[in-house]
Amino acid sequence: MKNLIALSLVLCSICAATPNASAQEAPTGTTPPPKVMVIVREYLKPGKTASMHEKTESVFVQALTNAKWPTHYFAADSLTGPARSLFFIAYDSFEAWEKDNLAMHKDATLSAALDSASAADGELLSKYGTSAFVYRKDYSLRAAVKIAEMRYFEISMVVVRPGHQKDWDALVKIYQSAYEKASPTAHWATFESMYGANNGGVYIIITPMKSLAEVDRSMGDSEHLKAVMSESDRKAAADLAAACLESTQTNLFAFNPKMSYVSDQWKAAAPAFWNQQ
């Protein structure tokens, strides 16, 4: 049971949504997850975090602002795990990503500014990588939120063993049914890795939060989840998890407005936060 409760803390964020929930229109004022999300990861050398990194990243933001570049992104710094910053860039398709890259290469002034910024920023980094993910609506619940008003991400990475996709589907359905009863206000967006360091049965589950108080509440939700599950469902979930889960990991990240290049709409939604440059 101890292992099952621990697993539920991760699976609280990775249950598939019901057909009705996934078919709902996004509430007014919310932003649905992008179809394609590119995440750039910058791992920082010891002592090269905080203001030093913000200074080098501000050069990228200024270059894009000067160019009035239409593609925006936002940054989040790790609160747990290795010291790193993540940069989230949303696209409607892989073709849109390609067009953005080609247009940037054709802009000689912008390219030169970004190259110069990259050279300075690179001095602070121990590792750098880019991954591309696709949105999995069937594994998400109430995913459209007022993202500009959020301040944290809880991100879980789940690796499913090869050949165990059906076990994974069955596992999330069990937890989906229980979690719908246990916490009707829960929300998360699930993405499947397509390109990058981790591919094949790799999912990231992102839970946006306005405050870390939501973490405290989610721990209570896990107890509710346990209470609504039958003994047979708990056993089935434990067996399926043992069969299909190769690894799980969850970390917290805090949004960093000083390293983000966001739209005027985001700035208007929370000017005191996003105008910190």
Q: What's the pLDDT tens digit per position in 233-275?
A: 889 999 999 999 999 999 999 999 999 999 999 999 999 999 9
Containing structural domain, residue 75: 2-274
Global confidence as pTM? 0.87
Q: Is residue 37 within 8 Å of 191, Cβ to Cβ? A: yes
Q: Is residue 52 within 8 Å of 123, Cβ to Cβ? A: no
Helix or strand holding residue 7 (H, E): helix 2-11
Q: What is the CATH number of the domain that holds 67?
A: 3.30.70.100
For residue 128, pLDDT beyond 90: yes
| Number of domains into which the chain is organized | 1
For residue 178, pLDDT beyond 50: yes
Q: What is the three-class DSSP state of 262?
A: coil
d(Cα 173, Cα 141) in Å, to the nearest integer?
12
What is the pLDDT at residue 194?
Answer: 94
What is the pLDDT at residue 249?
Answer: 95
Q: Give the amino acid at 259.
A: M
- How many angstroms separate the most distant Cα atoms in the chain? 64
d(Cα 12, Cα 237) in Å, to the nearest integer?
13
pLDDT band per the 50, 70, 90 thresholds, residue 25: low
Q: Is residue 256 within 8 Å of 85, Cβ to Cβ? A: yes
